Amino acid sequence: MMDSVDQSILRELQEHGRLPIVELASRVNLTKTPCTQRVRRLEQAGIIRGYRADLDPNQLDAGCVMIVMVVLDKTSDDALERFNEAVRRIPEVQGCYMIASNFDCLLKIRTRDVDKYRAVLGH
């Protein structure tokens, strides 16, 4: 069970993943040891799955974001697996989401500009 202190810890870590434990403890009104124990418990429970860097897409030539609606001819397990395998081979695709709508999937694609997006789409 998570209490309000655990939820505060999670909020702080979502915003500041590299926050030193002493600063985190101060922000959630705990001392260092109980705060450390709570963070470890949240990690061991799989609630905190990891810590990541927040990258600037413009600095990485990936400032152009496109959301693409995809309609599949077939949605059998085999067809979906083949589609997923193909999408995984395209490095510009950052996300693939199944949608309950008049289309089947949304793709989040990041490229440096529209010309590069068109090249990815044509490929």
What's the pLDDT tens digit per position in 71-121?
999 989 999 999 999 999 999 999 999 998 888 999 999 999 999 999 998
> Phi then psi for 24, rounded to 5 degrees?
-60, -45
pTM, full prediction? 0.70
Same CATH topology for 4-44 and 57-122? no
């009104």: which residue's tokens? 29
Read off the DSSP letter of residue 3.
-
Which of 34, 43, 32 minimizes the C-alpha distance to 10? 43
Give the C-alpha separation, 39 to 24, whole Å.
Answer: 10
The CATH code of the domain at 4-44 is 1.10.10.10
Q: How far is residue 96 CA from its own chain's centroid? A: 11
- For the segment(s) 57-122, the CATH number from 3.30.70.1400, 3.30.450.90, 3.30.2320.50, 3.30.70.920 is 3.30.70.920
Tokens matching residue 4: 């309000």
Tokens matching residue 18: 């590299």
Domain residue ranges in the chain: 4-44, 57-122
